[in-house]
Amino acid sequence: MSTGRLEAFSDGVIAIVITILVLNLTPPKGDSLKDLLGIEHGVFIYLLSFSLVAIYWLNHHHLFQVAKKINSKVLWANIFFLFSLTLFPFSTAWISEHLFSLFPQLLYGLVICLADCAFLLMVITLSKSNEEPIIKADFRKTVFSILLNIVALILGIVINPIMVCLVNLLMILLWISPNKKIEHFLG
């Protein structure tokens, strides 16, 4: 089975997720700069979530550019990955309203951790169905992300709930630049 249909379906789901993210961003009640500054928490969380979903899409895109064949395990791993991404709008909406509260922060961190685990599962299933070793290039980085998310959740419980978002903001810096090995492989 080729990757074309899977990529098109995934692109569609991710586009819908990103669209729903922006629909959760509520405009200010008034028409002044002060009113606009009053929604800064929502804008911050929207930008964080948008960036994370965009990074997941870019890495998904790179994976499937390298992969030549897929099987049913890859399809199911991809569906699980897409499911995890569909949880972003809900957790983003909740945390936007309660940025400094523990349970919205924990849910947000768990959604990110779930997406990382699902991405890792996809890397593993793709590497088993393809001989190309470059597919495993993001394996260590993804495991590190999962561990970093666990640390973020612990810091959110022990120190301050906002630590979940702050650590994930740092994680964007880890993932913002594409994997050089994959970039070189793709030419």
Among residues 155, 154, 149, which one has the least CA distance to residue 170? 149
Contacts of 160 (CB under 8 A, 6+ apart): 100
**Taking the domain 4-186, which CATH number applies?**
1.20.1410
Contacts of 23 (CB under 8 A, 6+ apart): 89
Q: What is the pTM of this model?
A: 0.92
Question: What's the pLDDT at 89?
Answer: 98
- What does the domain layout of the chain look like in residue ranges? 4-186
CB 10 within 8 A of CB 60: yes
The ranges of the chain with pLDDT < 70 are 1, 183-187
User: Tokens 């740092």 label which residue?
Assistant: 170
Question: What's the pLDDT at 8?
Answer: 95
